[in-house]
Chains A and B, each alone.
Chain A
């Protein structure tokens, strides 16, 4: 089992819809969770971080964390074509020392 797992996609949504990106992780001791956005040919950039159970909202983005289910998600409301990118889930684990593990990413296409 991969330590951080994401559906590779592509996930295709129409403009204005809600895009839902999901991520599961294996280490129950994980403490911090991040979503990075990576445009094609560019490097990842942080868009959201979440540390406690529940929802965290920032503009059109909402991160959701459920530690009991080892599940973290990212919702993008009112999706725009400019949101088309690969979204990487990252988890700070404490197995064998603190280390950030990245998922392989989900490709999102927002159709105009």
Chain B
């Protein structure tokens, strides 16, 4: 079974703090993704990576950065957290090639006060 884990289920941070969200997958997948999910807006892609050290902007990259130093780990960084970044953050992975079936982690619910 594919397992995607995320470092925290719930996180509360203050405005202006730097926030790190970690994601680890154990299936040797090349592709990894970070989404945020908000009511009525669905899943929106923040960043994705097709390989180690590679990153591509998604639809809403502003205010975020990412790091992929190892194949199994993909980190999302909020450089200076703001209240409008309060959301559910979901990490996903998928194997290279194929139809891009994505496997999701449990999610991190981030609240920025």
CB<8 Å pairs between A and B, sample of 9: A42-B106, A43-B90, A43-B106, A49-B99, A51-B99, A88-B43, A92-B100, A99-B58, A100-B45
CA distance in complex: A7, B81 (Å): 32
Chain A's closest residue to B33 (CB) is A100
Q: Smallest CB–CB gap between A34 and chain B, Å?
A: 7
B37-64 vs A, CB cutoff 8 Å, 1 = contact: the mask equals 0001111010000000000101000000
Inter-chain CA distance A45–B103, complex, in Å, is: 7
Most buried by A among B40, B42, B90: B42
Interface string of B94-112 (1 = CB under 8 A from A): 0000011111111100000
CA distance A46 to B42 in the complex (A): 16
Residue A11 lies at the interface, judged by CB distance under 8 Å to chain B: no
Is the Cβ of A105 less than 8 Å from the Cβ of B42?
yes
Q: Which residues of B contact A (CB under 8 A)?
A: 35, 40-43, 45, 56, 58, 90, 99-107
B42–A88 touching, CB < 8 Å: yes
**9 more CB-based (< 8 A) A-B contacts, given A44-B104, A100-B102:** A34-B99, A43-B105, A46-B101, A51-B99, A92-B100, A99-B45, A100-B100, A102-B35, A102-B43
Q: How far, in whole Å, are A34 and B45 apart by their CA atoms in the complex?
A: 16
How far, in angstroms, from A45 to B2 measured CA to CA in the complex?
A: 11
Complex interface bits, A30-72 against B, C-beta within 8 A gives 1, otherwise 0: 0110100000001111100101000000000000000000000
A32 and B43 contact, CB distance less than 8 A = no
Residues of the A chain whose Cβ atoms lie less than 8 Å from the Cβ of B41: 104
A45-B3 Cα distance, complex, nearest whole Å? 12
Please pick, from A8, A43, A45, A98, the residue contacting B100 in the complex, using a CB distance under 8 A. Answer: A98
